Amino acid sequence: MELNTLTIHELQEQLKSGQTTALQVAEAVYNRIGSVEERVHSYIRLMKEEALAAASKADEDIKKGFIKPLTGIPVALKDIVCTKGIPTTCGSHILHNFVPPYDATAVEKLREAGAVFVGKANMDEFAMGSSTETSFFGVTRNPWDLERIPGGSSGGSAAAVAADECIASIGSDTGGSIRQPAALCGVVGLKPTYGRVSRFGLIAFASSLDQIGPFTKDVEDCAIMLNVLAGYDPRESTSVPAEVPDYRQFLGRDITGWKIGIPREYFIEGIDPEVAAAVKKAITVIEKCGGRCVDISLPHTEYCLAVYYIIAPAEASSNLARYDGVKYGLRTAEARDLLDMYKKSRTQGFGMEVKRRIMIGTYALSSGYYDAYYKKASQVRALIRNDFAAAFKQCDIILTPTTPTPAFKIGEKVDDPLQMYLSDLFTISSNLAGIPGMSVPCGFTAAGLPLGIQFLAGHFEEGKLIQIASAYEKNASIEKRRPNL
């Protein structure tokens, strides 16, 4: 089997035993990129020279017995995390020439753990999108069907793992941007609790919602990645100094007696029949593992989409005000005065979806409308959070579909923002509540498109997610397939 198709834990065994070298693994990944990247377009920028140098150093470390959790493992980085000396664009024209002077904490941690960085993965511009169609650098395609979207906004990160163009990757999740593309690309994706992983060096979209998390080929790899990423960071004001367990200890544990909440509001009219069938089958598997499914209610679910699309654009409006053509990024060459330079730089630099959300957010925060929109949305957000707190008194884990449909065709929803926003219907609520969520592959449609189920847990209970996902993965017997590229 080709080295680029293996998991982190499989490669760790081979690297430790001397069956292979980190340089051979990196070369296998770049050979794969050379053969499929032109069609998939997972990456904005490759870092081959740096990666091969890092792989050679990893081989030296292995020979000396210095083996860290990710030594020699090729990892892709969503192009929203700052990388010192390497351009970080956020998929936007306005940052096409931005080179950060520092690394994000997540990048530092991965580097310290021995990871080899393959490149910066494509994404929806400023993480605003559900399809990776809004990137200034072009559309990423789903490796399972090149006519379809990979999900978004972390579509490049998900597609790179699915297409074996890296071994694992990281993305960011503001309203489902890790879990939704993970489901549509047939990989594992986890959004940690808000505050569990440092956001220092993550270019902000909506600061009260954003969170960094991993994409992996299986649940064990997800535990390995989370071990590296999680932890308190004094440089990040929302980072929580909570104890971080070894997430690998939750693998293979029994879930007998667990109550699994099935929220009635998530099984709605309009959900794709094949998605509904796959989730029902997954529920049967969980029951065979010893879980007991119970009916629960999250009564304010119907308001989640409206609340999210007030809070997220409002915070984006504030965060994106810094891109003015003065300090860094794009600056127009034809301005008459300062105000004209602001206007033209932002007009030329931002794409249509980003402009739409800035305008929505600015309106929601404007004088006379703040109380009616942003304040009201924040109050309803508290009710949504209370719904989850009440639900977790009745159950250990909540199980839902990750997405209402399989991957749709490129261009199908690009002119209908509301239909596009509905793609995140089942993932938005956990960002509003700040709880962790995880998408795990649960099968394929008749046309061969991947599907995912979502597990949700209480604050800082990522271990429970790893435990139930591990039990499900072991017992579901999902057919092992690879995209035919």
Residue 418 pLDDT > 80 = no
Give 307's pLDDT tier (boundaries 50, 70, 90): very high
The CATH number given to 3-251 is: 3.90.1300.10
Residue 416 pLDDT > 90 = no
- Mean pLDDT over the full length of the chain: 96
- Which stretches of 149-257 are assigned E, i.e. beta strand? 168-172, 188-191, 212-216
Task: For 387-399, write each residue's pLDDT tens digit.
Answer: 999 999 999 999 9
**Alpha-carbon span 58 to 70, nearest angstrom:** 10
Give 188's pLDDT tier (boundaries 50, 70, 90): very high
Angle at 139 between CA 138 and CA 142, to 5 degrees: 150
- One DSSP character per residue, 42-62 reads -EEEE-HHHHHHHHHHHHHHH
**Residues facing residue 292 across a β-bridge:** 259
Decide the pairing of beta strands 74-78 and 168-172: parallel
How large a percentage of the chain has pLDDT more than 90?
94
Residue 229 pLDDT > 80 = yes
Give 192's pLDDT tier (boundaries 50, 70, 90): very high
Crossing angle for the helix pair 48-64 and 8-17, to the nearest 10 degrees: 50
Q: What is the pLDDT of residue 267?
A: 85
Options 177, 239, 423, 429, the catalytic residue: 177
**Alpha-carbon span 159 to 388, nearest angstrom:** 31
φ and ψ of 8, to 5 deg:
-60, -50
Options 42, 92, 153, 154, the catalytic residue: 153
Residue 349 pLDDT > 80 = yes
Task: For 441-450, write each residue's pLDDT tens digit.
Answer: 999 999 999 9
Domain ranges of the chain: 3-251
Residues ≥6 apart with Cβ < 8 Å to 118: 26, 29, 30, 33, 43, 46, 47, 51, 74, 75, 76, 160, 165, 166
Q: What is the pLDDT of residue 80?
A: 98
Q: What is the pLDDT of residue 423?
A: 79
**Alpha-carbon span 385 to 377, nearest angstrom:** 12
CA 460 to each of CA 3, 195, 197, 261: distance values in angstroms, whole numbers, following the listed order:
34, 9, 11, 18
Task: Please confirm, yes or no, whether 153 is among the known catalytic residues.
Answer: yes
Mean pLDDT value of segment 119-129: 98
Q: What is the pLDDT of residue 481?
A: 92
pTM over the 0.85 mark: yes
Residue 317 pLDDT > 80 = yes
Mean pLDDT value of segment 341-370: 95
Task: Please confirm, yes or no, whether 78 is among the known catalytic residues.
Answer: yes
Task: Please confirm, yes or no, whether 63 is among the known catalytic residues.
Answer: no
Task: For 45-101, write each residue's pLDDT tens digit.
Answer: 999 999 999 999 999 999 999 999 999 999 999 999 999 999 999 999 999 999 999
φ and ψ of 118, to 5 deg:
-80, -45
- Residue pair 198/231 in contact by the 8 Å Cβ criterion: yes
Buried b or exposed e, range 387-418, using 16+ CB within 10 angstroms: bbeebbeebbbbbbbbbbbbbbebebbbeebe
Residue 424 pLDDT > 90 = no
The number of CA neighbours under 13 Å toward the Cβ of 176 is 31
* Percentage helix, strand, coil for the chain under 3-state DSSP, each rounded to 5: 45, 15, 40
Mean pLDDT value of segment 359-364: 96
Decide the pairing of beta strands 188-191 and 168-172: unpaired
